[in-house]
A and B are shown apart, each in its own frame.
Chain A
Amino acid sequence: MFSLLGGIFLGWSLGANDASNAFGSAVSSRMIKFWSAAILASIFVVLGALLEGQAGIETLQSLTELTLKMAVVSSVAAAVTVTIMTVLGLPVSTSQAAVGAILGIGFVNKQVNIAGLGKVVACWFGTPIGGLLIAIVLYRLLAVVYNRSRIDMFESDILLRLALIVAGSYAAYALGANNVANVTAVFVGAGQLTVFAAALVGGLSIALGILTFSRGVMETVGRKLVRLDPFSALVVVLSEAITVHIYTVLGVPVSTSQAVIGAVLGVGIVKGINTVSRRTLTNIFIGWFLTPVVACFIAITLYFTVHLRYIPGQ
């Protein structure tokens, strides 16, 4: 159980940070109370992890062969990376941190599944692009339906609010299904957990992060989305959820934040406005490259540190 703490910590920080991508806009604009959103998000994260988390777990655990000690090192390295990047104020992807850390261990042991790694990296490129394309198509489709609907101002307001809550729940489901692999896949590889137990422990630790520490992030980070009008915010959340869900089916853990940024850019393209500043884009780019590299480096350092042996003087 003690060996799982690194993974649980990673899951907790993931829940605390990434739940804002699902419910941030609804909570920070006070369309839904924080506790209602946190409970809904927690339920759907656990459901997602249990029902569809298996594919991602299998992909990550196939990247390299791990012992229990390696699994602990890799999960702690990923958690430390996420913390460092958050402190530096750079956008961080837990998926990239987890994969970077697993690769670090794999490099040391000269056991890396190159085909699996190629699939994962290709999907990292595809996440923001997917979010962007889905947002463009979804915006155009939903706009036609919305503008042609014969409902009055109050009904359309209610409909938008309900849709944001439903989309938020779906995004939480996709987050659980996709990102649970980052949290506990290494322990499956190490033979510590079954796939079901890994999904359950991972899902619950993400839910714990949402329930205990996501309030501040939801109320502040979520405002970045609310600067968009409610309809655009709905399109962004829905596009993010669909994008992440597609990668879940493909069995690749990806970053929900990167899917959101792609979707926000997509909405900007449709509306002909700048939705993301150049500085934010630069930070995302830096974070995108740095996260796996830093995680890989920390994992290698930790690995050598835990293998140091005291040799008494002659």
Chain B
Amino acid sequence: MLRFFFKKERRLEHLIYSYLENLGMIQRHFVKAMNICLKEGVSDDFCFLMDQTHKSESRADDIRDEINELMYSRALIPELREDIMALLEKVDEIPRSFEQILNMIRTQKITFPEFLTLDIQELIRVSMESCDLMAKQIDVMVKKVEGVRALMSTIDQNESHCDHIERRIIIKLFESDLEPFLKLQLKELVIVLGEISDQADRVSKRVNILTMKRRV
């Protein structure tokens, strides 16, 4: 009821949820693009989805700028302002990684060897699950309900799981007969893929600290 009188705060809340929704959309474009790439390599459909990912990523930047602008115009207590800005800065690393991966595939014309397909799919699946849980954790933090720690623990497990998959892929890669240059190219890509769950884990830990900080 209080929020009825505070337009800026209402707008801010709306923008934060728009940002999270947009993040979900970028994720979906990214997953579709990666699935196409795993099946048929760099195709027109892949390029289309890559453009969509780029557009959504730009939209995320716009929303973040609007959030920052609104907060500088005296919405929220300064402490909370700083916390939200720092948090969104960290979350924003994730769509940047999506874009970077798709760019690497397109510009370096990377194709995945068949023996890695299942592991790559598994790495993407678990990383996306971490991103979904991270968005849910932010929602839980905003709504001030219980569950932040439990979500953090699941994201942490996912991060460990992703590390295992990443190591497994790199071992398989260097045990294969692929050309050394291709091995290094794929290794670099896998490391950036693995970075997604790492970043989700870092955001999740930050959300947990913010939740504890807001308890008195």
Chain A positions within 8 Å of B213 at CB level: 229
Chain B positions within 8 Å of A151 at CB level: 144
Q: Do A231 and B78 have beta carbons less than 8 Å apart? A: no
B13 contacts A by Cβ under 8 Å: yes
B80 contacts A by Cβ under 8 Å: yes
Q: Which residues B59-118 have CB closer than 8 A to chain A? A: 74, 76-80
Distance between Cα atoms of A151 and B143 in the complex (Å): 7
A304 contacts B by Cβ under 8 Å: no
Q: Which residues B137-184 have CB closer than 8 A to chain A? A: 141-144
With both beta carbons as reference points, the residue of chain A lying nearest to B1 in the complex is identified as A155
Assess A152 versus B77: contact at CB under 8 Å? Given A146-B216, A157-B9, A158-B6: no
Min CB gap A229→B, angstroms:
6
Q: Which of B6, B80, B142 contacts A152 (CB 8 A)?
A: B142
Assess A153 versus B144: contact at CB under 8 Å? Given A30-B78, A158-B2, A230-B79: yes
With both beta carbons as reference points, the residue of chain B lying nearest to A146 in the complex is identified as B216
Chain A positions within 8 Å of B3 at CB level: 154-155, 158
Q: Which of A143, A155, A160 contacts B77 (CB 8 A)?
A: A160
Chain A positions within 8 Å of B10 at CB level: 154
Contact bitstring B121-146, A, C-beta under 8 A = 1, else 0: 00000000000000000000111100
Q: Do A157 and B215 have beta carbons less than 8 Å apart? A: no
Q: Do A157 and B144 have beta carbons less than 8 Å apart? A: no
Distance between Cα atoms of A17 and B64 in the complex (Å): 40
A31 contacts B by Cβ under 8 Å: yes
Distance between Cα atoms of A271 and B79 in the complex (Å): 18
With both beta carbons as reference points, the residue of chain B lying nearest to A155 in the complex is identified as B2
Q: Which of B9, B12, B74, B216 contacts A231 (CB 8 A)?
A: B216
Chain B positions within 8 Å of A160 at CB level: 77
Distance between Cα atoms of A229 and B141 in the complex (Å): 18
With both beta carbons as reference points, the residue of chain B lying nearest to A31 in the complex is identified as B77
Chain A positions within 8 Å of B142 at CB level: 152-154
A224 contacts B by Cβ under 8 Å: no
Distance between Cα atoms of A30 and B74 in the complex (Å): 7
Q: Which of A31, A139, A147, A232 contacts B215 (CB 8 A)?
A: A147
Number of interface residues of A (CB under 8 A): 26
Chain A positions within 8 Å of B214 at CB level: 153, 156
Chain A positions within 8 Å of B77 at CB level: 29, 31, 157, 160-161, 230
With both beta carbons as reference points, the residue of chain A lying nearest to B83 in the complex is identified as A153
Q: Do A147 and B143 have beta carbons less than 8 Å apart? A: no
Q: Which of A152, A159, A232 contacts B143 (CB 8 A)?
A: A152
Min CB gap B169→A, angstroms:
39
Assess A154 versus B79: contact at CB under 8 Å? Given A30-B74, A147-B215, A229-B216: no
Min CB gap A103→B, angstroms:
43
With both beta carbons as reference points, the residue of chain B lying nearest to A159 in the complex is identified as B2
Min CB gap B170→A, angstroms:
41
Chain B positions within 8 Å of A159 at CB level: 2
Distance between Cα atoms of A127 and B215 in the complex (Å): 29
Chain A positions within 8 Å of B6 at CB level: 154, 158
With both beta carbons as reference points, the residue of chain A lying nearest to B2 in the complex is identified as A158
Chain A positions within 8 Å of B13 at CB level: 154
Chain A positions within 8 Å of B143 at CB level: 152-153
Min CB gap A151→B, angstroms:
7
With both beta carbons as reference points, the residue of chain B lying nearest to A232 in the complex is identified as B216
Contact bitstring A221-237, B, C-beta under 8 A = 1, else 0: 00000100111100000
Chain A positions within 8 Å of B215 at CB level: 147
Distance between Cα atoms of A50 and B214 in the complex (Å): 40
Distance between Cα atoms of A162 and B77 in the complex (Å): 11
Distance between Cα atoms of A158 and B214 in the complex (Å): 14
With both beta carbons as reference points, the residue of chain B lying nearest to A143 in the complex is identified as B216
Q: Do B9 and A154 have beta carbons less than 8 Å apart? A: yes
Q: Do B80 and A157 have beta carbons less than 8 Å apart? A: yes
With both beta carbons as reference points, the residue of chain A lying nearest to B72 in the complex is identified as A30
Chain B positions within 8 Å of A155 at CB level: 2-3
Interface centre among B10, B141, B216 (most CB of A within 10 A): B216
Q: Do A153 and B216 have beta carbons less than 8 Å apart? A: no
Distance between Cα atoms of A82 and B12 in the complex (Å): 45
Query: Which 5 pairs of residues, A with B, have the shortest CB-CB distance?
Result: A143-B216, A231-B216, A158-B2, A153-B142, A152-B143
Q: A31-B78, A157-B76, A158-B6 are in contact. List 19 more A-B contacts (CB 8 A).
A: A29-B78, A30-B78, A31-B77, A151-B144, A152-B142, A152-B143, A153-B143, A153-B144, A153-B214, A154-B3, A154-B9, A155-B3, A157-B77, A158-B2, A158-B9, A159-B2, A226-B78, A230-B79, A232-B216
Instruction: Sample 21 A-B pairs with CB under 8 A, ordered by A number.
Output: A30-B74, A30-B78, A31-B74, A31-B77, A31-B78, A150-B144, A153-B80, A153-B141, A153-B142, A154-B10, A154-B142, A155-B3, A157-B76, A157-B77, A160-B77, A162-B2, A226-B78, A229-B79, A230-B77, A230-B79, A231-B216
